[in-house]
Amino acid sequence: MLNRNLNLELLRNDAFDVCIIGGGSAGAGCALDAALRGMKVALIEKTDFAAETSGKSTKLVHGGVRYLEQAFRKLDLAQLNQVKHGLQERRFVLGNAPHLARPLALATPVFNWWSGVYYFLGLKLYDWFAPGRSGMPPGKWTGKRKLDKLFPGLNKGIRSAIVYYDGQLDDARYNLALIQSANQSGAVVANYVELQEFSSDRSGAITAATVLDRQSDTAFSIRARVFLNCTGPAADSVRLKANPELTPVIKPSKGAHILVSMPQQKASCALLIPKTADNRVAFAIPFEGRMMIGTTDEPCENPELEPYADRSDTDFLLETINPYLETPLSRAQVTSGFAGLRPLVNLSSNNKHTKAILRDHLVEQDERSGLVSLLGGKWTTYRLMAKDAVDVIANRLGMHIPCSTENHLLWGANGWSPDFYKKIQAEYKIDEDVSQHLADKYGTSAVVVARLAQEDPLLSERLVTEQPFLKAEVVYAVRHEMALEIRDFLSRRIRLELTDFRLCAAAAPEVARIMADELGWSPGQKEARLHEYLSAHFFTL
Ligand SMILES: Cc1cc2nc3c(=O)[nH]c(=O)nc-3n(C[C@H](O)[C@H](O)[C@H](O)COP(=O)(O)OP(=O)(O)OC[C@H]3O[C@@H](n4cnc5c(N)ncnc54)[C@H](O)[C@@H]3O)c2cc1C
């Protein structure tokens, strides 16, 4: 259970071995790794856990078939290593939280014999690089009849496809499970706490950080032996706070997705489009009962502003997917959209094209300030990234305890199995779709939500009739998951904001009412928060 007030008290009064700045996948992964090694860990997050890139990814746990192709075309060993890292980590990501991550079949359409042979050999190589294949079936060249079952509604001209397997995760909930697991292992974590500035000694070495609790608007100081910068696209601003002489290295790139409801929502497989008009890979992936189509890749000039899926992203993604479908999708079928910033590292200043920059990670130690920065990387490799960063810190602190996250089950995973939902359904007499949803999102903690619903009939009601989300989940999110704002719940504790703007707007007033009761907001505060949420720019398509 996450207790923010208690954790704030500890942040103010304790001294830590390491203070992690940023609560995305990189920061949360580092907090768990360091806490398991016995370090005294603090983690602060400016907004909510996974509020930035880590909650807005394509949600694939993969080595990256595109990077494999580039590795061979350009004879690039670094790209090849990155693919190997991804494939090696895939099994740990899936194995450590099977309620939140699972295998996903992806079909690459084949239009002629030569391209079929090319993709088939590529995917055999991809499978070959995966150690023990992570329990995934091997890739296969699949005929039309089977393909139509896997992905109904495909363009009739597509006669076959190469079907292979990667993983899919619920990124924001996985991020939260890492935070919960870190907290359970002793890390002191808090959201809505922002790094403002560092205090340094005469040599420039950081001794403490001044941070702002953005809920109470009060500043305080955190003492730690090492500060670890895990702020993703914002990493340069923290590096420059530590040492203004450092050269910026982050080149953020915007990636957008749109979600549509369509007959293909029954698809049990994703579609990989190997070449878009701008020469990239795009995906159409079943997610939460919708089809998620993405992604774009464009340089972002102002990483301070939250990116969102705009009209041009929507048009581009519809133009990309439509040639592959029997009935083209229209703008009216788009139910929502979202965008994130890739924290790409660009060590060469003349590399202007973001799709050509390596997505692997880098651990930087600034000699003058002592700041350690974990830069770049991707969701799939968060554990390896954390291991590399915490190894550096352990070395500095003289704490030589090895990493133990490879097979560390995350919050909610212990005792969970794919038919866990049946147990909750039978015990708490709830609808099957609700028990399936609770088991898949909360793992074994689903029983706590189910109990809340059982104890109060009002909380057993759905937030919106079309979806399995219960009012009890709002209470649970506030009491146990540090949800403090309407958006924390609608966007990250459940994923309704990502999948359907209309349903999200319909659910928001009731979410606000329950949160106001739980958090003691006045009627005026509740209305102001609701108005601010519903008029936010990201609801525009
Ligand atoms: C569109 C898109 C699709 C992607 N798809 C995939 C995919 O399918 N698979 C995959 O493996 N990877 C994918 N990635 C990459 C992956 O999502 C990112 O590499 C990863 O999530 C980055 O995590 P992070 O923790 O470094 O950054 P973030 O998630 O951005 O976390 C950094 C955190 O630091 C906080 N912060 C910033 N400044 C401060 C401060 N001053 N004080 C306190 N906190 C601060 C921010 O609020 C933020 O929450 C995708 C990325 C994008 C953009």
Give per-residue pLDDT as tens, 470-488. Answer: 999 999 999 999 999 999 9
pLDDT band at 504 (very low <50, low <70, confident <90, very high): very high
- Inform me whether the pLDDT recorded for 353 exceeds 50: no
What is the best residue among 19, 25, 57 to mutate for testing ligand 1's pocket, by most ligand atoms within 8 Å of CB?
57
- Inform me whether the pLDDT recorded for 355 exceeds 50: no
Of 439, 438, 472, nearest in space to 454 by CA: 472
What is the best residue among 19, 20, 53, 361 to mutate for testing ligand 1's pocket, by most ligand atoms within 8 Å of CB?
53
Identify the pLDDT of residue 459: 98
CA 381–ligand 1 middle distance (angstroms): 12
- Inform me whether the pLDDT recorded for 264 exceeds 60: no
The 3-state secondary structure of 238-274 reads HHHHHCCCCCCCEEEEEEEEEEECCHHHHCCEEEEEC
CA 321–ligand 1 middle distance (angstroms): 26
Give per-residue pLDDT as tens, 70-112. Answer: 777 777 787 888 888 999 999 999 999 999 999 999 999 998 8
Q: Which residues line ligand 1 (CB under 6 A)?
A: 21-27, 44-47, 51-54, 56-60, 194-195, 230-234, 238, 255, 295, 340-343, 377-380
DSSP annotation of 491 reads I
CA 450–ligand 1 middle distance (angstroms): 31
Beta-strand (E) ranges in 14-123? 15-21, 41-44, 60-61, 101-110
Residue nearest to atom 24 of ligand 1 (CA): 232
CA 66–ligand 1 middle distance (angstroms): 20
- Inform me whether the pLDDT recorded for 349 exceeds 90: no
Identify the pLDDT of residue 359: 54
Give per-residue pLDDT as tens, 427-447. Answer: 999 999 999 999 999 999 999
In the structure encoding, which two tokens stand for residue 378, read together? 């991707």
Residue nearest to atom 39 of ligand 1 (CA): 46
In the structure encoding, which two tokens stand for residue 65, read together? 């078939």
CA 494–ligand 1 middle distance (angstroms): 18
pLDDT band at 43 (very low <50, low <70, confident <90, very high): very high
Give per-residue pLDDT as tens, 361-383. Answer: 999 999 999 999 999 999 999 99
Of 93, 50, 19, nearest in space to 179 by CA: 50
Residue 293 CA to residue 290 CA, distance in Å, equals 10
Q: What is the dihedral of CA 25, 28, 30, 34, to 10 degrees?
A: -160
Give per-residue pLDDT as tens, 314-345. Answer: 999 999 999 999 999 999 999 999 999 999 89
Instruction: For the chain, give the percent of residues with pLDDT over 90.
Output: 80
Identify the pLDDT of residue 125: 86
What is the best residue among 49, 54, 168 to mutate for testing ligand 1's pocket, by most ligand atoms within 8 Å of CB?
54
Residue nearest to atom 15 of ligand 1 (CA): 378
Identify the pLDDT of residue 279: 79
- Inform me whether the pLDDT recorded for 278 exceeds 80: no
Least confident of 39-48, 126-135, 190-199: 126-135
What is the best residue among 379, 482, 485 to mutate for testing ligand 1's pocket, by most ligand atoms within 8 Å of CB?
379
CA 210–ligand 1 middle distance (angstroms): 23
Closest ligand 1 atom to 52 CA:
30
pLDDT band at 134 (very low <50, low <70, confident <90, very high): low
- Inform me whether the pLDDT recorded for 391 exceeds 90: yes
Average pLDDT rounded to a whole number, residues 504-512: 97
CA 512–ligand 1 middle distance (angstroms): 27
CA 342–ligand 1 middle distance (angstroms): 7
Of 163, 146, 166, 144, nearest in space to 155 by CA: 144
**Domains defined for the chain, CATH in brackets:** 4-54+172-249+355-397 (3.50.50.60), 102-167+251-351 (3.30.9.10), 420-539 (1.10.8.870)
Give per-residue pLDDT as tens, 11-33. Answer: 999 999 999 999 999 999 999 99
Do strands 218-229 and 372-376 pair parallel, antiparallel, or not at all (unpaired)? parallel
Average pLDDT rounded to a whole number, residues 157-182: 96
Average pLDDT score over the chain: 93
pLDDT band at 358 (very low <50, low <70, confident <90, very high): low
What pTM did the predictor assign? Answer: 0.96
